[in-house]
Amino acid sequence: MNKLTAAPTRQAIRLPTTGTRFVSTRALVRRFSPLLVLLALGVCIGAFNHDFFDPMNLSRIAIAAAIPLTIALGGTFVIQLGSIDLSAEGIVAVSAITVSMLVENSYNDNHFGLWVLAVAIAAGAVLGLTNGVLHVFLRIPSFITTLAVGFVASGIGTAWLSGNTIRVSDTALRSISITRYFGLPLSVWIAVLSLGVAWFIYRHTLLGRHTLAIGGGEDLARLSGVRVSRVRIAIFALAGAFYGVAGILSVAQYGQGHALIANGQLFVAITAIVVGGTSLAGGNGSPMNTLIGTLVVVVLANGMVLLGVPPYVQQGIQGVLIIVAVTLALNRSRRRIVK
């Protein structure tokens, strides 16, 4: 009797194994799909145009990725919360104008040196803090709050310069985009350093863990003792600091500061975050995912230029890319309501 009952028991244990392996394999493929897409994209472009793998072209890709990566790193933390930050372009502009007016320039006689880089980052953090405070205490949806703050920041930048452009002649600041180490400009290494800081916060700090907890379920996080309001405010301020770094890199790269210096960067950053696999619903994603997503977007743009694709077609392809990325990243089977 015992032998008869033992066999079904063993069989019952073995039956789910195939399904479990299938689920784990599918999850593994889904986890590394952005990296696979990046590799496939590079191979395909390189097959049609061998100049893609030229070291100079790879250097151009790294330079083009530095600014959107820095912006996307800040936006990643906000999206992990389940929120959205649309103020990046305005905050980058204010930070860029701040640093432009404090170093040697064509607008005034200031020449305070590179210590003003901290002022630019602080300006970004203050505007990010404003986002968080308004969002939390006035209970305004994040996309409305950040959109408004972004417009206000752009307006401040325009009024500050009366619509003009500041030409920056400070050699120390400009050297950020000129001085090379191991074949790459210092601006790229600053972006890599920003990635390292973002990774450390995400992986090794309480703030990073609480951010994911809130994105995964705010009510449960609150019951677990997470101070949701403080974390939200801190994350928006942190994002603003990353935008401040992007403002510095923009001035160093373009040699000027004005209110429209970051135009178009918000779309690239959000596309990079989503293409990297971070869900807009919050609760997942990492800085490394964002790095891969940024490279996918930049490599695609670089490849289309090499292949002679017209600019208006490039914009259309980028639009399709973000729709496909959202479609793949969002598990709609578990969502009865899409909002």
Determine, yes or no, domain membership for 7.
no
Question: What are the Cα distances from residue 97, in Å, to 86, 125, 163, 194, 308?
Answer: 19, 15, 12, 21, 35
Determine, yes or no, domain membership for 1.
no
Percent of the chain scoring above 70 in pLDDT: 86
Closest CA to 238 of 203, 292, 202, 214: 202
33-91 pLDDT per residue, tens: 788 888 988 998 999 988 999 999 999 999 999 999 999 999 999 999 999 999 999 99
Q: What is the model's pTM?
A: 0.88
- How many angstroms separate the CA atoms of 312 and 261, rounded? 21
- pLDDT band for 332, please (50, 70, 90 cuts): very low
**Domain count for the chain:** 1
Task: Decide: helix, strand or coil at residue 180.
Answer: strand
Determine, yes or no, domain membership for 10.
no
How far separated are the first and last CA of the chain, in Å rounded? 57
Where residue 126 sits, what CATH number does that domain have?
1.10.3470
**Residue carrying structure tokens 């942190």:** 238
- How many angstroms separate the CA atoms of 308 and 138, rounded? 49
Q: What is the C-alpha radius of gyration for the chain, rounded to an integer number of angstroms?
A: 23
164-181 pLDDT per residue, tens: 889 998 888 999 999 999
Determine, yes or no, domain membership for 68.
yes
Determine, yes or no, domain membership for 4.
no
**Between 20 and 7, the higher pLDDT residue:** 20
Determine, yes or no, domain membership for 31.
no
The whole-number average pLDDT for the span 224-238 is 95
Determine, yes or no, domain membership for 336.
no
Q: Which amino acid is at 315?
A: Q
Closest CA to 265 of 68, 64, 121, 77: 68
In this structure, are residues 274 and 322 in contact, taking their beta carbons and an 8 Å threshold? yes
Task: Quote the domain boundaries for residue 321.
Answer: 37-330
249-270 pLDDT per residue, tens: 999 999 999 999 999 899 889 9
Q: Tell me the DSSP string of 122-168.
A: HHHHHHHHHHHHHHHHS---HHHHHHHHHHHHHHHHHHHHTT--EEB
Question: What are the Cα distances from residue 214, in Å, to 27, 76, 225?
Answer: 22, 14, 11
The whole-number average pLDDT for the span 306-313 is 84
Q: Which amino acid is at 154?
A: S
